[in-house]
Amino acid sequence: MTYLIEGRDGPWELVVGLEVHAQVISRSKLFSGASASYGGEPNTHVSLVDAGFPGMLPVINRECVAQAVRTGLGLKARVNLESRFDRKNYFYADLPTGYQISQFTHPIIGEGAVEIELVDGSTRVIGITRLHLEQDAGKSMHDQDPARSFIDLNRAGVALMEIVSEPDIRSPEEAGAYLRKLRMILRYLGTCDGNMEEGSMRADVNVSVRKAGEPFRTRCEIKNVNSIRYVMQAIEVEAVRQVEIWESGGSVDQETRLFDPARSETRSLRSKEDAHDYRYFPDPDLLPLVIEEAWVQELASHLPELPDAKRQRFQDEYGIPRYDAGVLVAEQPTADFYETVARGRDPRLAANWVIGDFFAALNRTGRTIQDSPISAEALGGMLDLITDGTINGKIAKDVFEEMLANGETAAEIVERKGLRQVTDTGAIDAAVQAVLDKNPDKLAEYRSGKDKLFGFFVGQVMKAMAGKGNPALVNEALKKVL
Amino acid sequence: MSLDPATVRRIARLARIGIDESDLPALQRELNGILGWIEQLNEVDVDNVEPMVGTGHAALRMREDVVTDGDAREAVLSNAPDAAGPYYTVPKVVE
């Protein structure tokens, strides 16, 4: 479905490209031995290299390079065996050296692709232009003092991957789908935690509009949007703003803007005089980064199974619907949980329970799969009791709630509460007869053609048996008598 | 290549160097002199020559991912013209 902005003079098409800054998971920083972990005391995760002291030299962290290569492989992208580092010069108080070490002309990762899926089930491929390594900046706080800004350099020098997409995105929905998919891939790879609230993944959004068939028009860049929902909103309002400018005879200026979610508008961020002039040049402190093909192969051989492949395998191996497979692979721990439950059991029954009652229980209790009150083994044990006929599906729901409440195994609960399903046909026949004896009027109605009452009888029999009757046998017994 | 006064002013601004209007002509002359000198390199034919970025074994050495530094707030803040508690402070910067 094409997303169009209806202007006065007809429809406009949206063109969006995203630059995602993803904080690399590593113990230490990209070019210094200071800790890269989040949330230390202010200015304690800082070396003299990060603080920009004279004479300090950067030394690159091998793991950060490996993480970039893994991400490149996960994005089906070209890995450049030789890449370089440049200085991107600008002045800001939380950038002590006055430049950011980045990769401008020779990034470590080249073109790749991400497949996204939309609500209507259609898929699209969004091109990746490049991925490069660079340093994060420190943090400024402007609200501590009337006259001064406070600077914490703990984050300064932490490795970032900037992942640049092609301008292939054509709707806010596609932008959201792209970000979710990218985050899923990064999390599977273990190269970025994808936590947008804490700022370990942020997006710069390039937006322009055009009439169908036209070349690209001038774009604006909306900086540092920190949630997927805001990215989608920012695109929507920015596109409308640009259409209004073009239609009133004006022209859009190429500029940096920020998104204000409270007022749902974008505002110009930098004056034109300060328009980007970063005066990039090769960093003389750093030689070219040369990596071996053999090392790339080794990293490739240790990559985990990625979401697309896992989803396909779940469909093929377990015979579950594509939609269910998508839900189960959305998070790796969920996929692992499901596989533990499904192994050696009916995989569809397992999928239904995991996606249905189990997810609902997590939601209700505010727990995550990592600290789930019911283990995959325990849930599997309960499914075994359903499959071997010990309990029926209805009793299973009660057993599940008990497991949730007190952590007993299904077998223990069934034993303790005597919930074993009754398969003794003598007992079932007796219960059926008792119900018929008690409801002669209903029986007469049924016999005179009110077929719907069959359900009533089933319900009454199950009730008389405290829910423990084998539903198939109860049905059978009733049919025989009626 | 020759720089006009406006470009010289812009370069100074980007580098956050305050200069007097009266210094512009002299700076323009000096910068143009440097550029002219560098431009002599254009006379060398470097077609099909890989750019040389260093001498010897020209590849970056990598270090292992271990925390070996940090926890040195006093040293880090030692040169700060102004600090407040654990923070550097600077004249307020708000865009």
Q: Does A64 sit within 8 Å of B67, measured CB to CB?
A: no
pLDDT-derived band at A465, boundaries 50, 70, 90: confident
Q: How far apart, in whole angstroms, are the C-alpha atoms of residue A256 and residue A297?
A: 40
Q: Do the Cβ atoms of A147 and B92 come within 8 Å?
A: yes
Mutation target for A interface from B65, B82, B89, B90: give the one with most A CBs within 10 A. B65
Q: Are residues A192 and A262 in the same domain?
A: yes
Cβ contact, residue pair A148, B70, below 8 Å: no
Interchain contact B18–A (C-beta under 8 A): no
* Position A272 pLDDT exceeds 70: no
Q: How far does the CA of residue B22 sit from the closest CA of chain A (Å)?
A: 22
A146: which chain B residues are within 8 Å (Cβ-Cβ)?
Answer: 92
A211 has pLDDT over 80: yes
The residue from A372, A396, A417 where one domain ends is A417
What pLDDT is attached to residue B55? Answer: 62
User: What is the residue range of B35's domain?
Assistant: 5-42
Looking at the domain assignment, is residue B84 inside a domain? no
Q: Which amino acid appears at position A198 of this protein?
A: E
The pLDDT confidence band at residue A110, using thresholds 50, 70 and 90, is very high
Average pLDDT over residues A249-256: 92
Taking an 8 Å cut-off on Cβ atoms, the answer to whether A28 and B67 are in contact is yes
| Residue where a domain terminates, one of A258, A279, A298 | A298
Angle at A277 between CA B7 and CA B18, to 5 degrees: 50
Q: Is A42 on the interface with B (CB under 8 A)?
A: yes
A368 and A470 in a single domain? The answer is no
Tell me: do A249 and A334 sit in the same domain: no
- Residue positions counted in chain B: 95
Confidence of residue A271 (pLDDT cuts 50, 70, 90): low
Both A262 and A228 in one domain: the answer is yes
In this predicted structure, what is the pLDDT of residue B66? 97
pLDDT of residue A1: 59
Residue A470 lies in domain:
425-481
Answer for the pair A16, A139: CB distance below 8 angstroms, yes or no: no
Interchain proximity B86–A35, CB inside 8 Å:
no
> Residues A323, A242: one domain?
no
Q: What is the chain A residue with the closest CA to B86? A: A42
Q: Is A81 on the interface with B (CB under 8 A)?
A: no
Instruction: Tell me the per-residue pLDDT of B21-79, one tens digit each, with 9 for 90 and over.
Output: 999 999 999 999 999 999 998 899 988 887 776 666 678 899 999 999 999 999 999 98
Location of structure tokens 């003299």:
A48
Quick one: what percent of chain A has pLDDT higher than 70? 98
Question: CB-based contact (8 Å) between A226 and chain B?
Answer: no
Segment 42-61 of chain B within 8 Å of chain A by CB? 53-54, 58-61
Q: How many domains does chain B have?
A: 1
What letter does residue B84 receive in the DSSP assignment? E
pLDDT value at A230 more than 90: yes
Residue B81 lies in a domain: no
Q: Is A275 on the interface with B (CB under 8 A)?
A: no
Q: Does A281 touch chain B (CB under 8 A)?
A: no
A157-189: pLDDT as tens digits: 999 999 999 999 999 999 999 999 999 999 999
